[in-house]
């Protein structure tokens, strides 16, 4: 009987020693546990978006130092509030210490004082442009789009890998279309590692001429609705011929009507097109009506 009691005591003792209080967890492990479910709890009671590293930096001195010393925590600058938080992001850029970072600029800051705010954002970013990893501008007013890309004309961004530009649909048929304006980033500068580009509602000519040979991913929503699916096929062929090293090509013909019963997003895995003409292409996906992607794929295969 005493032996049984001893076994129970030993087992109980081992259980107690195997329990790891949460305060004893390494910071990176505890961060991983919380971050995995943070997406579902990233807004506070008033709907404002919260940022885990910011919360973590207010727990205690140890946590604050861990957060400040982890550059990836501060690597995404998102301008989606009505008033850009320039002072906050200036501090984040300081904490980055030269590490790569990402920028997203939405339309929200430009409801008023738009020129002033644009200049403020670009003044913040430009001194650190050599560390920019990805850059996205979505549905900002025309004058803002032009100002942003004018500032990038002679910039050098050696770490830039991804560029995404989405233009307001109403400007597709407006002044930009008549003036044949299109963004010309790094026209007098350099972005030697740019590999992924996504354009919506704008021309692709400059991007293809400037970066076509180095792109491995290109996604486009055409600038306007064309007359026949054969016109889409011509655009697809033009892009594929100017970007011979593409591995992924997305062609979203009607990206804003995905609930339409007759609409499809079809993905073709390797080899989607003849290897003779498109040897590097691994994935082709086309968003649009079925009649559109039927013609596009048939015509591309016919060229092989």
Per-residue pLDDT reduced to its tens digit, 248-265:
998 887 654 444 444 455
pLDDT recorded at residue 299: 63
286 has pLDDT over 70:
yes
Answer with the one of 69, 97, 124 that is the final residue of a domain: 69
pLDDT recorded at residue 68: 86
Question: Which range among 23-32, 58-67, 160-169, 290-299 shows the weakest confidence by mean pLDDT?
Answer: 290-299
State which residues form the domain around 52.
Answer: 23-69
pTM over 0.85: no
- Please, which pLDDT band fits residue 22 given cuts at 50, 70 and 90? low
pLDDT recorded at residue 176: 38
How far is C-alpha 302 from the chain's CA centre?
34
137 has pLDDT over 80:
yes
Does the residue 18 lie in any domain? no
pLDDT recorded at residue 37: 57
Q: Which of 142, 197, 193 has the alpha carbon at shortest distance from 164?
A: 197
Sorted by sequence, the CB contacts under 8 Å of residue 154 that are 6+ apart come out as 186, 187, 188, 189
Statement to judge: residues 172 and 65 lie in one domain = no
Q: Which of 236 and 246 is assigned the larger pLDDT?
A: 246
Rounded to 5°, the CA angle 97-81-28 comes to 40
For residue 178, whether the previous peptide bond is cis, meaning omega lies within 30 degrees of 0, is: no
- Please, which pLDDT band fits residue 304 given cuts at 50, 70 and 90? low
Statement to judge: residues 186 and 282 lie in one domain = yes
Mean pLDDT of 46-73: 76
Does the residue 7 lie in any domain? no
Average pLDDT over the chain, rounded to an integer: 77
Does the residue 152 lie in any domain? yes
Tokens 């990805």 found at? 134
pLDDT recorded at residue 207: 94
Answer with the one of 39, 69, 99 that is the final residue of a domain: 69
The number of domains in the chain is 2
Statement to judge: residues 199 and 247 lie in one domain = yes
Does the residue 139 lie in any domain? yes
Statement to judge: residues 43 and 171 lie in one domain = no
Q: Model confidence over 164-180: pLDDT tens digits?
A: 999 875 433 333 334 45
Structure tokens at 144: 């803002």
């Amino acid at each position: 009987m005493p032996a049984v009691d001893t076994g129970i005591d030993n087992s109980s003792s081992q259980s107690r020693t195997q329990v790891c209080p949460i305060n004893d967890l390494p910071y990176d492990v505890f961060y991983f546990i919380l971050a995995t479910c943070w997406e579902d709890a990233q807004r506070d009671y008033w709907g404002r978006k919260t940022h885990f590293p910011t919360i973590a930096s207010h727990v205690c001195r140890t946590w604050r130092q861990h957060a400040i010393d982890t550059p990836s925590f501060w690597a995404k600058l998102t301008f989606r509030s009505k008033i850009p938080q320039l002072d906050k992001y200036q501090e984040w850029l300081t904490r980055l210490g030269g590490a790569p970072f990402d920028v997203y600029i939405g339309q929200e800051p430009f409801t008023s004082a738009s020129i002033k705010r644009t200049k403020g954002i670009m003044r913040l970013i430009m001194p650190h442009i050599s560390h920019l990893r990805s850059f996205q501008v979505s549905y900002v007013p025309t004058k803002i789009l032009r100002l942003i890309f004018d500032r990038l004309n002679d910039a050098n961004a050696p770490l830039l890998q991804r560029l995404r530009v989405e233009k307001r649909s109403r400007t597709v048929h407006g002044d930009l279309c008549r003036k044949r304006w299109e963004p010309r980033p790094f026209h007098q500068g350099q972005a030697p590692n740019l590999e992924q580009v996504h354009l919506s509602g704008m021309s692709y000519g400059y991007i293809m001429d400037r970066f076509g040979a180095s792109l491995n991913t290109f996604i486009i929503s055409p600038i306007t609705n064309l007359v026949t699916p054969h016109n889409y096929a011509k655009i697809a062929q033009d892009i594929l011929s100017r970007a011979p090293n593409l591995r992924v090509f997305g062609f979203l013909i009607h990206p804003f009507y995905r609930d339409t019963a007759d609409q499809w997003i079809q993905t073709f895995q390797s080899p989607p097109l003849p290897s003779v003409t498109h040897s590097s292409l691994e994935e082709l996906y086309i968003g649009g009506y079925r009649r559109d992607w039927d013609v596009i794929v048939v015509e591309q295969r016919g060229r092989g």
